[in-house]
Every structure is written in structure tokens, then in C-alpha cells.
């Protein structure tokens, strides 16, 4: 009998190779194809095969339970669980969320694994996240390959670990490290996980092989089963203080703070009771708008780069890039490209400007070095070999792609593109980082408009995730594909945008900023507006952001727009008074707020209040009170209305594209899912009613977006448009 023979073999020192001599293994799948079953001597091997990430969907859960039962029936002594393809289980199947749950549920599967009378070992590779780590925590021992990462990122989906993670992890590694991992959602590398005690071993090799060797060693040592649930309750900490800290850090997000309370249960309740309560909290969070917002953001982030017209289009090869202009943006773009492994040649106007650009780039890279993102060797190579500075456009003749980041002036841009057209090799992509200018007009300065595109990075370009890929009328599909490929290489979230003043993000920003300015004229203070929006979840309110960006930028823009401004527009002039007095915000120490050196943030500048009052008096405005709720409502209505216009006009392809732009470039709180997801959750009819009621005061500014009106009329929402686009 296979069983008896294998048992006999176990009495001798055994290795996997010896086991292989024992005869042909038994192969098979476990009821579902998602888990493959194999009996290797007395070790049952359960291999997850649910590409792309071995998510723990229904078939996988069922397969695991079947596999356990079969292993026990086969009288195996141990079970090895590992994943096929690129990863161990990357978590619960998020696509099942919000739908009726199908048994067996993940917590039951986890408990079943842990309760198995056989020795269960997990061999991890890739990412063991969420439910994936929870399955691993139920194995009696865990080994991983060095590249593996583990984590409990559920809070990034608006939930908390719901299959024992908040009860088992603190038992295994202690309360504080568990809270850190759960509330920050960070992925922990194998070595750190080993040091924390999440893993028992880290070994180089194939997960299946290192796993089998580990199981064999454990069996040889007669190692006992080691259920984490039977470990003593962890030592408590000051949970109230921790809850407050995490709540504050979440800026309105509830899941991380709830997770602290769930970990608290691990200290205070018997395991089973803690597990039951964890599940209740998990289910409660599942019902929230925040969960819907976060999951929308998760899928939107992955959908933005999926454009039907690019399906069969190959991007051009890009190894060497050119950057023109080494100011704030050019230096940031060059840094980002260097960090992505590209050769960079940066052209400036003079040697002095080139030297200044080098200093900026070296400063950025020094930051990466300080944060251990790169080694000293890499820093030296990047600054001394991979980066070249030049003052002559001829240096760009071999570049595969050039990004222009010179002054925001159409004549200067056209001049640059004429020169690029003359020197660049055929097929080179010519990109502009313009914030507002017409990419069609820039493209027309060349004889190769098909190669011209907008690549709109955000400041600081080596940090900010967003990249708007601005497609002009004659941009060739493979130029667009190259823009997206470059974005991916640089680790950006690339979103397609059409040509208009400000593209997606800056156009919408201009509108909601105007709504805020109107509220200030009518009675709100910039400080109240900032506070209301920070309470809504924005990292900073619009006036604090203006101080950070520099008030001179808006001042220059207002002056440029003044000659051709519609007289119905209400543009405040008090910020001009601030600028005239030399107050440009943070960089001069004073703007809407006063900034003291060494202190974070600013305090409201009382002069601003005086200037606003004077302007109201001049305009004959009797100020009225605004509640925080009304501030948010108007600000968001302006944002959603303009966003709907942007989608309706095809500047953004889908509502989710707008959501990603605001989420990744404008500090929109992720747990609201983006402005259009937020709008869906609020209900479009109510929002449209608001806009119509505001239009009774100012029908120039508040013109309902035709798309919004149509959706309300048809009883549909923005997500319906996302779904339509995906089908």
C-alpha cells in the first residue's frame, strides 16, 4: 500500500528526492480546478492555481476544504500548501464583495486548516496579502522565498481583516507590530516577516521544493502542530490612545481605527469570541460607502490604462529620453526617469541653468538615497553615468522620447518643438508637459504631429503618481501606447485625456476653486473652507494648497485672463492685494496663512480677513453664514458638474478616469472613491437639484452638465457608464 510504504520511509532520514523514489505520486484536482492535489509519499500537496493572483474565490475555498479532507482520508502526515504562478494567495476575491457570500466562507476555511490533525505548512512566494496571509497564519508553520511579501491591506479596501487576521497576527507577533501592519496596509518583506515571527524560515528556491524540504524536516523532528489560535492572548496596550492616533491619521477613514478595536478584542476575549466579533465588524464595514469607494478606486486604478483602441498596439521602444528644461518639473521628470532605469539627457538654456538642473536632480536623488530607495552605488551611477546635461539640442538626436518642460508660453513651446523636429530621429516621441496649452497647436509646429503627445506630470514629478497622457487630434496610436508604457515604467498612474484648457484635472480644479472663491466673497472664510474640506478628507484645503503652490501662479493666470474675461465671472481681487504686498504663500512665509520657520503648517493670516471684508464692502455684498455641510456640498457639486462635462465632451473617456485623476493628483480622499463615485453614492438627482438651485443665484457659473441631466433622466449613474465602457 502506498500509505504503508510511505510511513516506513519516514522512519529514515528522508529528503524530497528520496521520497520521489517511492513511486508515482497521486495527482488530481480537488472538486474544483482551483486547487490541485498531489500525494507525495505521506505529504499531501495543495497547489493553488487560480490566475492571475490566486485570489481566494469560492472555487479556491472549496478546493482547500476538499484538499484537506482528501489528505486526511489519504492518511497523509502533513499538508503543504503553495501557489502556482506568480504568487501565493493575494487575498479574498474582491470581485465577490457586495454579492451574497457562498460557503465555505474564508474564516471557516481558515479554521478548518488550523484544526486539521495533520501538520499544515504554507510555502509562500509573491504576495501573501489579506485573506492570503490569514490562510498562512492558519498553517502550523510558514516558510517563504526571499522575494515574498506579506501584509493585511484590507483597510485599503475599506474593510478590516475578516478571517482571523486581527486575532491571530497579534497573538503571533504582538499587538503593536500587528496594528502597524494592519492599519498602514504596508507589505512586509520576507526578511522582516521572519524577524517579526510571521515566518519561520526564509529559503531560496522554488516554493514547492523549499516547502517540501521544510515539511520533511518538521516531520523528522516530530514537530508538533502549532495553531496560532491556541497561543496566549497578547499583552494589551493603551488602545484608546492608539485608536485616536489611527483615527486622526485616517482623516475620516473609519476602517483603520476599527481595526485597532478589533485587535483589542484579541487581548480581551477568548479566541472564538474575538473571531466572531471581528467578522461582525468586517461585515459592518462591508456595508459602508467607504468600502464601495475604496474598491472602486482599486479597480479604477487598474482600468485606467485599459484602452480598447490600444489593445493590439505595440508601444515604441524607449530606452533613452531627453528632457528640455531643468526647472521644477524637468528636474522631477528626469529624476523619475532615472529611477525607472532610463538614460536621460537634459537640455537647458545655458551652462548655468544646466548646472542648476543637475543640482536639483542630485538633490532629488539624494532624497531617494536617504530613504533607502537607492544605494550609494546606484546614486553614483545615476548622477555620473546615466544622466547627461547639455545646452545644445543636438544632444537629443538619439533620444527615443523627449519631454519638454520649459516655460508655459506658446511661443517658447513652438520654438522648442520646431528645433526638436529638426534634430530628433524619425519615430522619436515628442512630448510636452504643458499644463494648459493647446497640444494640437504645439504639434502643428512640427512636420510629425503623429509623434506629438502631452505627458502632463504633476509636481513633484518624481513623487506624484498621476500622469495625464494628453492625446491630440493627430497623435498616432503607438505614440499613445508609448506614453502609457513610459508611465508604467515610471510607476505612474497614467490616464488618457483629451485636449482642452487644463485637460482633466486642472480644468476641474479651476471650477471647484471658483466655487470656493464665490463662497468666500459671499461670507465664508478661506480658513473655514479649508477646515470643512479637510474634515471631508482632503489632505489640504484649497487655500492651504494655493499657499503651497505659490500665490504668484494664480496671480499671473488672473492677469493673463483678465482682458478676455466674461463680465459675468466673479473673480475676487483680494488675493492680488496679497501678491502685490509680496506675499506668495509658503515660500515667502505669508499668504492665506502665516508660516513660521520650523513649524509645520500655518496659522490664519488676519490681514486676509480684512482684505476680504474690504472687497465685500466694495462689491456691496452682505456676508452670510455657511455651514460646513453647505461648503462641502457646493464645492463637490461644482467638481462633479465640471467632471460630468469633461466626460460628456470626451476629454475623459470614462467617469473612472476622472476619479483616478482626482485621487492620484489632487488629494481627493480615496475612501470616497473619486468625485464621480462619490456622486453616485450621494445620488445624482439630489446633486442635480442642488446645482439647479445654485443656478438661481448665478446661472453663469452653475450650468448643469448635459450628461448629468441625461443620467438623472434615464435613472442611471456614472458607474453604469464605467460598466458600459468595460463591456
Q: Return residues touching ligand NAI (CB under 6 A).
A: 324-330, 347-349, 353, 405-408, 412, 416, 433-435, 457-459
| Beta carbons within 10 angstroms of residue 578's beta carbon | 22
Q: Which residues pair with 120 in a beta bridge?
A: 79
| Alpha-carbon separation of residue 39 from 80, 116, 383 (angstroms) | 10, 16, 54
Element holding 387 (H helix, E strand): strand 387-390
Residue from 20, 235, 302, 370 touching ligand 3HC (CB under 6 A): that is 302
Taking alpha carbons only, the member of 25, 18, 20 closest to residue 2 is 25
343 binds, among ligand NAI, ligand 3HC, none (CB under 5 to 8 A by kind): none
Choice from 19, 81, 119, 129 touching ligand 3HC (CB under 6 A):
129
Q: What does the block give as the cell for 46?
A: 495543495
**Measured between alpha carbons, how far is 235 from 140 in angstroms, rounded to an integer?**
22
CB of 727 to ligand 3HC, least distance (A): 14
Say which entry of ligand NAI, ligand 3HC, none residue 353 contacts (CB below 5 to 8 A, set by partner kind).
ligand NAI
How far apart are the C-alpha atoms of 400 and 562, rounded to whole Å? 40
Per the CB < 8 A criterion, the answer to whether 427 and 314 are in contact is: no
Q: Is 278 in the site for ligand 3HC (CB under 6 A)?
A: no
Q: For residues 185 and 155, is the Cβ–Cβ distance under 8 A?
A: yes
Q: Which is nearer to ligand NAI, 442 or 476 (CB)?
A: 442
Residue nearer to ligand 3HC on the CB measure, 113 or 608: 113
Catalytic residues: 134, 154
What's the closest the beta carbon of residue 656 comes to ligand NAI, in angstroms? 22
Q: Which three cell numbers stand for residue 433?
A: 508637459
Find the radius of gyration of the CA atoms of the chain. Answer: 29
Q: Which of residues 130-149 bind ligand 3HC (CB under 6 A)?
A: 130-131, 134
d(CA 250, CA 533): 14
Which of ligand NAI, ligand 3HC, none binds 514 (CB below 5-8 Å, type-dependent)? none
Q: Say if residues 637 and 675 touch (Cβ distance below 8 Å).
A: no
Q: How far is the CB of 461 from ligand NAI (least distance, A)?
A: 8
- Tell the residue number behind the cell numbers 543636438, with chain if given: 394
In this structure, the strands spanning 78-83 and 26-30 are: unpaired
Residue 464 Cβ vs ligand NAI, minimum distance, rounded to whole Å? 9
420 binds, among ligand NAI, ligand 3HC, none (CB under 5 to 8 A by kind): none
Q: Report the nearest approach of ligand NAI to the CB of residue 508 (Å).
A: 15
Is 52 a residue that touches ligand 3HC (CB under 6 A)?
A: yes
Single out the residue of 126, 33, 142 nearest to residue 134, CA to CA. Answer: 142
90 interface partner picked from ligand NAI, ligand 3HC, none, CB below 5 to 8 A per type: ligand 3HC
Query: How would you class 548 by CB atoms within 10 Å of its CB: exposed for 0-12, middle for 13-18, buried for 19 or more?
Result: middle
The residue from 30, 34, 90, 485 that contacts ligand 3HC (CB under 6 A) is 90
- Residue whose C-beta lies closest to ligand NAI: 327
Among 53, 452, 509, 708, contact with ligand 3HC (rule: CB under 6 A): 53
Q: How far is the CB of 165 from ligand 3HC (least distance, A)?
A: 6
254 binds, among ligand NAI, ligand 3HC, none (CB under 5 to 8 A by kind): none
**Interface contacts to ligand 3HC, rule CB under 6 A:** 52-53, 55, 90-95, 106, 127, 129-131, 134, 153-154, 157, 161-163, 165, 302
Amino acid at each position: 500500500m502506498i500509505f504503508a510504504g510511505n510511513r516506513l520511509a519516514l522512519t529514515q532520514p528522508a529528503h524530497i528526492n528520496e521520497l520521489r523514489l517511492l513511486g508515482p505520486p497521486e495527482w488530481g484536482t480537488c472538486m474544483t480546478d482551483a486547487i490541485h492535489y498531489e500525494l507525495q509519499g505521506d505529504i499531501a500537496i495543495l497547489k493553488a492555481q487560480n490566475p492571475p493572483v490566486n485570489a481566494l474565490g469560492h472555487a479556491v475555498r472549496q478546493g482547500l476544504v476538499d484538499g484537506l479532507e482528501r489528505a486526511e482520508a489519504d492518511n497523509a502526515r502533513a499538508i503543504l500548501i503553495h501557489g502556482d504562478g506568480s504568487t501565493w494567495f493575494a487575498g479574498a476575491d474582491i470581485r465577490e464583495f457586495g454579492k451574497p457570500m457562498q460557503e465555505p466562507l474564508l474564516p471557516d476555511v481558515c479554521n478548518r486548516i488550523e484544526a486539521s490533525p495533520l501538520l499544515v505548512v504554507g510555502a509562500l512566494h509573491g504576495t501573501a496579502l489579506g485573506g492570503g496571509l490569514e490562510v498562512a497564519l492558519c498553517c502550523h508553520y510558514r516558510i517563504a522565498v526571499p522575494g515574498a511579501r506579506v501584509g493585511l491591506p484590507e483597510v485599503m479596501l475599506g474593510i478590516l481583516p475578516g478571517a482571523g487576521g486581527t486575532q491571530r497576527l497579534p497573538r503571533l507577533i504582538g499587538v503593536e507590530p500587528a496594528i502597524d501592519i494592519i492599519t498602514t496596509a504596508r507589505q512586509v518583506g520576507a526578511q522582516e516577516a521572519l524577524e517579526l515571527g510571521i515566518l519561520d524560515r526564509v529559503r531560496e528556491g522554488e516554493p514547492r521544493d523549499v516547502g517540501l524540504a521544510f515539511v520533511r524536516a518538521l516531520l523528522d523532528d516530530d514537530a508538533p502542530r502549532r495553531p496560532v489560535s491556541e497561543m496566549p492572548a497578547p499583552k494589551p496596550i493603551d488602545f484608546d490612545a492608539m485608536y485616536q492616533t489611527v483615527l486622526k491619521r485616517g482623516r475620516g477613514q473609519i476602517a483603520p481605527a476599527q481595526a485597532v478595536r478589533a485587535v483589542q478584542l484579541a487581548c480581551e476575549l477568548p479566541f472564538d469570541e474575538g473571531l466572531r466579533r471581528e467578522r461582525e465588524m468586517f461585515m459592518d464595514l462591508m456595508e459602508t460607502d467607504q468600502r464601495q469607494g475604496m474598491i472602486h478606486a482599486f479597480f479604477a486604478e487598474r482600468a485606467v490604462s485599459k484602452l480598447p483602441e490600444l489593445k493590439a498596439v505595440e508601444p515604441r521602444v524607449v530606452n533613452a529620453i531627453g528632457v528640455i528644461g531643468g526647472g521644477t518639473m524637468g528636474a522631477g521628470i528626469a529624476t523619475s526617469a532615472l529611477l525607472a532605469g532610463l538614460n536621460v539627457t537634459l537640455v537647458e538654456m545655458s551652462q548655468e541653468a544646466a548646472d542648476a538642473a543637475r543640482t536639483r536632480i542630485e538633490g532629488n536623488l539624494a532624497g531617494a538615497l536617504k530613504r533607502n530607495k537607492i544605494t550609494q552605488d546606484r546614486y553614483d551611477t545615476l548622477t555620473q553615468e546615466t544622466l547627461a546635461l547639455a545646452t545644445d539640442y543636438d544632444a537629443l538626436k538619439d533620444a527615443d522620447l523627449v519631454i519638454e518642460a520649459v516655460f508655459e508660453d506658446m511661443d517658447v513651446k513652438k520654438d522648442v518643438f520646431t528645433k526638436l523636429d529638426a534634430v530628433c530621429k524619425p519615430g522619436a516621441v515628442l512630448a510636452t508637459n504643458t499644463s494648459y496649452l493647446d497640444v494640437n497647436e504645439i504639434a502643428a509646429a512640427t512636420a510629425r504631429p503623429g509623434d506629438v503627445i502631452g505627458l502632463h506630470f504633476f509636481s513633484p514629478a518624481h513623487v506624484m503618481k498621476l500622469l495625464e497622457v494628453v492625446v491630440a487630434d493627430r497623435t498616432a496610436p503607438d505614440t499613445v501606447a508609448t506614453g502609457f508604457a513610459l508611465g508604467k515604467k515610471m510607476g505612474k498612474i497614467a490616464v488618457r485625456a483629451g485636449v482642452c484648457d487644463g485637460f482633466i484635472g486642472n480644468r476641474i480644479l479651476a471650477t471647484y476653486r471658483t466655487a470656493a472663491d464665490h463662497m468666500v466673497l459671499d461670507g465664508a472664510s478661506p480658513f473655514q473652507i479649508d477646515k470643512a474640506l479637510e474634515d471631508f478628507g482632503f489632505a489640504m484645503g484649497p487655500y492651504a494648497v494655493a499657499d503651497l503652490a505659490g500665490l504668484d501662479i494664480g496671480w499671473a493666470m488672473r492677469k493673463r485672463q483678465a482682458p478676455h474675461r466674461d463680465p459675468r465671472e466673479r473673480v475676487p481681487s483680494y488675493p492680488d492685494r496679497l501678491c502685490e504686498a509680496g506675499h506668495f504663500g509658503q515660500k515667502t512665509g505669508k499668504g492665506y496663512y502665516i508660516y513660521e520657520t520650523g513649524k509645520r503648517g500655518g496659522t490664519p493670516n488676519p490681514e486676509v480677513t480684512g482684505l476680504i471684508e474690504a472687497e465685500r464692502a466694495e462689491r456691496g455684498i452682505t456676508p452670510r453664514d455657511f455651514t460646513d455641510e453647505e461648503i462641502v456640498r457646493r464645492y463637490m457639486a461644482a467638481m462633479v458638474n465640471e467632471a460630468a462635462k469633461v466626460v460628456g465632451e470626451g476629454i475623459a473617456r470614462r467617469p473612472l478616469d476622472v476619479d483616478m485623476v482626482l485621487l492620484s493628483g489632487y488629494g481627493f480622499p480615496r475612501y470616497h472613491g473619486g468625485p464621480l463615485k462619490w456622486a453616485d453614492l450621494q445620488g445624482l438627482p439630489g446633486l442635480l437639484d442642488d446645482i439647479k438651485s445654485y443656478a438661481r443665484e448665478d446661472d453663469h457659473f452653475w450650468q448643469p452638465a448635459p450628461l448629468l441631466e441625461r443620467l438623472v433622466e434615464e435613472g442611471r449613474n456614472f458607474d453604469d457608464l464605467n460598466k458600459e465602457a468595460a463591456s
